[in-house]
């Protein structure tokens, strides 16, 4: 049985709880065991690297030092945490930066979307799949940090990534081509400059709607929160969008018939149940 250390990050314990629940559910069905890090703390997110260069490395390093105590790889679902961890890894390993914690740069940091879209995993998911998602049209929205900066993520096709599309296709759904896969959702401008933020998500949501997609599939907790929980704000200007924003792990869980699927969906603002029922998938 494959085992990982697991860093959920603040979002997965809060605003993206269904991401945490669905990834745990999916890993369980795939016989992959995870061990949440003890007493983990915030990675510092965007704010640390924006204004405090030292904290931007020290905050991730504290968690990476905890992870290094075991010899397991570290699985990270949140794109922001992943990005900060990789940045700290480069600082310590390649630039020989000294940090306040016993972190040497030896723990392998795996982004959950990258790992779960590997061919071997997709093969396993296919085997365990009880309900192919045929008839479901989706656009994959990668956002920023799951693919950029490419020197940290290692994603080669970062302008037009394909791995989430492949994952969705292997579940039986149809990934649609569109031009906004890696546009920015505005991140924390949702709190600080809602006027600008609405322009950014308005563009992404209306273009997704124009492609004829039934839903947007995401791999980043910030993107999901922004596109789902603030969708209503832009609907006042743009008219009905009504697009469920689903984590790729929720669709994996749906295809594999996970028992808690309804519980995950109840946490959404744009309820996916009606759309999925109309396509005979629930």
Partner 1 sequence: MDVRDQAIKTSTSLLSEVVQKSGERIQNCFQCQKCSAGCPLNFAMDILPNQIFRHVQYGHREKVLSSKTIWLCASCHTCSARCPNNIDILKVMDTLRSMSLQSGVASGEKDISMFHQFFLGLIKLTGRTWEPGFGLYKMKTGGLFGMMGWSLKLFLRGKIGIIPTFNGGKELRRLFNEPGKGEVK
Q: Which residues, 6+ apart, have CB-to-CB distance to 146 below 8 Å? A: 79, 82, 111, 113, 153, 155, 161, 219, 220
| CB of 3 or CB of 52, closer to partner 1 | 52
Q: How far is CA 100 from the centre of its chain?
A: 29
Measured from the CB atom, the residue of 44 and 175 that comes closer to partner 1 is 44
Least distance in angstroms from the C-beta of 135 to partner 1: 28
Q: Does 15 bind partner 1 (CB under 8 A)?
A: yes
The CB-of-20 to partner 1 minimum distance in angstroms stands at 11
In the bound state with partner 1, the residue whose beta carbon lies nearer, of 40 and 115, is 40
Tokens of 50: 């924006």
Q: Is 193 an interacting residue with respect to partner 1 (CB under 8 A)?
A: yes
Which stretches does DSSP call E strand in 37-167? 73-76, 109-111, 137-141
SS3 33: strand
Count of chain residues binding partner 1 (CB under 8 A): 56
Instruction: Work out whether 94 is an interface residue with partner 1 (CB under 8 A).
Output: no
Does 150 interact with partner 1 (rule: CB under 8 A)?
Answer: yes
Question: Using CB under 8 A, which residues numbered 35 to 74 contact partner 1?
Answer: 39-42, 44-56, 58-59, 62
Residue 128 burial class via C-beta count within 10 angstroms: exposed 0-12, middle 13-18, buried 19 and up: middle
Measured CA to CA, the distance from residue 2 to residue 167 in angstroms comes to 20
Residue 55, burial from CB neighbour count under 10 angstroms (0-12, 13-18, 19+): middle
Interface ranges with partner 1 (CB under 8 A): 10-11, 13-17, 39-42, 44-56, 58-59, 62, 100-101, 144-145, 148-150, 158-159, 182-184, 186-189, 191-194, 196, 199-200, 229-230, 266-269
């Amino acid at each position: 049985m494959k085992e990982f250390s697991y860093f959920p990050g603040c979002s997965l314990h809060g605003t993206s709880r269904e991401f945490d629940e669905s990834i745990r559910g999916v890993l369980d069905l795939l016989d992959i065991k995870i061990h949440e890090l003890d007493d983990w703390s915030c990675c510092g997110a965007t704010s640390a690297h924006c204004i405090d260069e030292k904290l931007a490395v020290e905050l991730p390093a504290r968690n990476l030092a905890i992870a290094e105590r075991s010899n397991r790889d570290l699985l990270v679902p949140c794109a922001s945490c992943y990005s900060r961890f990789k940045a700290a890894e480069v600082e310590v390993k390649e630039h020989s930066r000294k940090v306040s914690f016993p972190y040497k740069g030896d723990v392998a940091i795996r982004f959950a979307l990258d790992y779960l879209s590997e061919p071997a995993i997709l093969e396993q998911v296919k085997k365990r799949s009880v309900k192919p998602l045929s008839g479901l049209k989706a656009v994959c929205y990668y956002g920023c940090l799951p693919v950029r900066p490419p020197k940290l993520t290692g994603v080669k096709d970062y302008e037009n990534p394909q791995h989430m599309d492949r994952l969705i296709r292997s579940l039986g759904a149809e990934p649609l081509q569109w031009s906004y896969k890696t546009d920015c959702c505005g991140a924390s401008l949702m709190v600080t400059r809602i006027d600008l933020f609405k322009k950014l998500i308005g563009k992404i949501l209306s273009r997704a709607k124009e492609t004829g997609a039934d839903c947007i599939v995401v791999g980043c907790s910030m993107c999901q929160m922004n596109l789902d929980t603030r969708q209503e704000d832009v609907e006042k200007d743009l008219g009905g969008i009504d697009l469920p924003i689903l984590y790729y792990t929720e669709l994996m869980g749906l295809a594999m018939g996970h028992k808690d699927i309804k519980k995950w969906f109840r946490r959404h603002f744009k309820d996916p149940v009606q759309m999925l029922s109309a396509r005979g998938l629930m």
